[in-house]
Structure 1
């Protein structure tokens, strides 16, 4: 496993396990399988409604807490200073933990206008040692600029939709300039045709790998953090088996040329669910 050092010195695994759309009663089994396969970073969120299942898997695994990296996220309807503090406490209770390693604001919700005060509450959570790092998700250059400008605190991570069809080059450049780690959600394009793209087949064949492994390797070689999700044991194992080969410059260029701006999830500039 490779690691990324965040801007506050905290070390985070570069490849993690996501549990979006995994029902709570299936989350324990999926996370247990992932931990057995070697994953040590687990990404959940309040809106996924599976924090309790994730927590049960962590408790049952018996691994030292310091070996695990647990991320959860604040949902939109809990934005606001005091509401954020209450929501964080409730999330810890569901997870059965005394701290998380990374706490993210799930969406900026610019139309609601509470993300700055929400961030200030997250700063308190961080200062109190209950989150080892704090960051955001689905923020744009505009919302990041305002957040940093008004608080002076740079997020450790911005978790965004990113895959070969949506490479986010401009936003990644902003992240690099400000020391923000890029974390990629829906890295395999949510199974909506990306892995069947004909450009991936010869690259996969050349390396004796699947298209999914090639795409995950592309994410890693960009320097991004990536969190593939699956409930299928064979795919969970396949997705972590991406450290034994390397894409060459021609491979990286061919995959990069697939970028066409396609989003499979909501646009953060307009998304306002939970307001």
Structure 2
């Protein structure tokens, strides 16, 4: 049984402390691994398009019978309402790639929302940040995050987050 411990995010939402990672999971095994983990009490699944198994992860979520609203799904687009986590891949940071990458992950995972969408690696993310903020204004995804950033990348992301918060205050959100 997975721990029920959670981390409180700065957005106020909670994320399960323990989750199942699907990196290097074989397609023929990941569906059953996800299903079994969810049946055992896990509520956090970490996936990514670059892993090549999001469709099977989605199949496992569906097969588990656990209501989608109880599962925290995170994916990097290597570079979220309580919706799930996703990562933006390094090669998809240009504005025109962000929406397509997000929509493909949603389709493969067989879900209509994400809890958290991560920009993975400290690459130049100005363009993806602009596009993600556009989607954020539409509450899709409800939360944005960064993954595997160093101090410089993190400082840049924090500045962007402060600017986003100020914009929201100005328009009364």
Q: TM-score, normalised by structure 2?
A: 0.80
**1:87 aligned to which of 101, 112, 130:** 101
**2:76 aligned to which of 70, 73, 76:** 73
Q: Does 1:58 align with 2:61?
A: yes
Equivalent pairs, count: 150
For each residue in 1:224-258, what CA deviation from the matched residue of structure 2 results, as whole angstroms up to 9, or x when unmatched? xxxxxxxxxxxxxxxxxxxxxxxxxxxxxxxxxxx
Unaligned runs of 5+ in 2: 78-88, 166-173
Cα separation, 2, equivalents of 1:7 and 1:141: 18
**1:149 aligned to which of 129, 134, 159:** 159
Spell out the pairing of 1:1-275 with structure 2 (5 A cutoff): 1-74=4-77, 75-109=89-123, 113=124, 115-150=125-160, 152-153=163-164
Q: Could you tell me how far 1:150 is from its partner in structure 2?
A: 4.7
Unaligned runs of 5+ in 1: 155-275
Bigger Cα Rg: 1
Contact 1:98 1:130 in 2 (8 A): no
Q: Could you tell me how far 1:143 is from its partner in structure 2?
A: 1.1
More strand by share: 2
Higher relative contact order by CA 8 Å / sep ≥ 6: 1 or 2?
Answer: 1
